[in-house]
Amino acid sequence: MDARSPARGRIALVTGASRGIGAGIARVLGTAGYGVAVGYRERIEGALEVASDCERGMPVQVDVADDDSVESAFAVVRAELGEVDLLVNNAGIAQEKPFLDLTDAEWERMFSVNLLGSVRTIRRVLPGMCERGFGRIVNISSIGGQWGGVNQLHYAAAKAALLNLTRSIAKLHSKDGVTCNAIAPGLVATEMSGAELETAAGRAKVARIPVGRLGTPEEIGAAVRFLASDEAGYVTGQTLNLNGGMLFA
């Protein structure tokens, strides 16, 4: 990356970045010149490995379901790297279970991580971004939040709410120089999607993808890099569909 690139010197925090999509995003940003805080909840080894692949990377423990943990993580990033210019809300959980078997506690846990986790991080970065007149927020949603769920209704509902949160933040703060966009991946080759893809239904989903393959974490990372760029300053409140054509199919 050219040393004159605007990305050089900017700081990114990627939650849930010790593996899968988050790791791919962190690595792409790291090679683009960002200082990258690699968020993890438990997998310190994975976070250390990802951070080592970044030009300026550091692991930071953060449980987005715990407000105190989020506060502590931002304090660490601020002290070690600086103020966050790019927030990527990627941390999430999934659970396969029939709708009528889901408990209130399971619904609450899903929303606490997959929706409120982003609320907790966004409210930490917004004041500073608005004060500086620049900020980028990218929320990682899912195609499930667009077309609904079958065995993951609570997951789909939380991801749909995340798309609405994205548009709302964009309406409120784009005038302050802070863009907020979402990416809705389809099926991506990660550990998290592995269980589903081993089932007959999962294999059938792959067969119906128009481009004929799974997506990669690096492709998601490239989309984040674009949305975070100065060239994307007029893109806000949008959902970028990275699904190989699954949605229209």
Taking 60 as the threshold, does the pLDDT of residue 150 lie above it? yes
Angle at 48 between CA 15 and CA 14, to 5 degrees: 15
Taking 70 as the threshold, does the pLDDT of residue 176 lie above it? yes
Give me the pLDDT at residue 191, please. 76
Chain-centroid distance, C-alpha 100:
29
The rounded distance, in Å, linking the Cα atoms of 206 and 214 is 7
Residue 222 domain-assigned (yes or no): yes
In this prediction, what percent of the chain has a pLDDT beyond 70? 95
Residue 4 domain-assigned (yes or no): no
| CATH number of residue 87's parent domain | 3.40.50.720
The domain in which residue 67 lies consists of 11-242
pTM score of the predicted model: 0.94
Give me the pLDDT at residue 157, please. 98
> Which of 34, 40, 155, 234 is labelled catalytic?
155
Give me the pLDDT at residue 165, please. 98
Stretch 49-68: mean pLDDT, rounded?
97
Residue 139 domain-assigned (yes or no): yes
Stretch 170-196: mean pLDDT, rounded?
90
Q: For the chain, what is the mean pLDDT?
A: 94
> Which residue type, as a one-letter code, is found at position 141?
S
Identify the CA nearest to 110 among candidates 98, 92, 123.
92
Q: Can you tell me whether residue 152 is helix, strand or coil?
A: coil
The single-letter DSSP state of residue 188 is: B
In this prediction, what percent of the chain has a pLDDT beyond 90? 86
The rounded distance, in Å, linking the Cα atoms of 57 and 158 is 30
Confidence of residue 248 (pLDDT cuts 50, 70, 90): confident
Residue 51 domain-assigned (yes or no): yes
Q: Can you tell me whether residue 12 is helix, strand or coil?
A: strand
Confidence of residue 25 (pLDDT cuts 50, 70, 90): very high
Confidence of residue 5 (pLDDT cuts 50, 70, 90): low
Stretch 136-157: mean pLDDT, rounded?
96
Stretch 233-248: mean pLDDT, rounded?
95
Give me the pLDDT at residue 127, please. 98
Taking 60 as the threshold, does the pLDDT of residue 249 lie above it? no
The rounded distance, in Å, linking the Cα atoms of 87 and 119 is 12
Stretch 173-186: mean pLDDT, rounded?
98
Give me the pLDDT at residue 2, please. 45
Q: How many CA atoms lie within 13 A of 27 on its CB side?
A: 19
Phi and psi angles of residue 87, each rounded to the nearest 5 degrees, phi first? -110, 125
Q: Can you tell me whether residue 115 is helix, strand or coil?
A: coil
Residue 58, burial from CB neighbour count under 10 angstroms (0-12, 13-18, 19+) = middle
Give me the pLDDT at residue 1, please. 42
Residue 3 domain-assigned (yes or no): no
Residue 249 domain-assigned (yes or no): no
pLDDT digits (tens, 9 = 90+) for 98-136: 999 999 999 999 999 999 999 999 999 999 999 999 999
Taking 70 as the threshold, does the pLDDT of residue 20 lie above it? yes
Phi and psi angles of residue 183, each rounded to the nearest 5 degrees, phi first? -120, 130
The rounded distance, in Å, linking the Cα atoms of 194 and 186 is 13
Q: Domain count for the chain, please give it.
A: 1
Give me the pLDDT at residue 190, please. 84
* Among 93-97, 159-163, 189-193, 228-232, the least confident range: 189-193
Residue 5 domain-assigned (yes or no): no
Residue 42, burial from CB neighbour count under 10 angstroms (0-12, 13-18, 19+) = exposed
Taking 70 as the threshold, does the pLDDT of residue 3 lie above it? no
Contact of 182 with 241, CB cutoff 8 Å:
no
Other beta carbons within 10 Å of 212: 10
Query: Is 155 one of the annotated active-site residues of the chain?
Result: yes
Residue 248 domain-assigned (yes or no): no
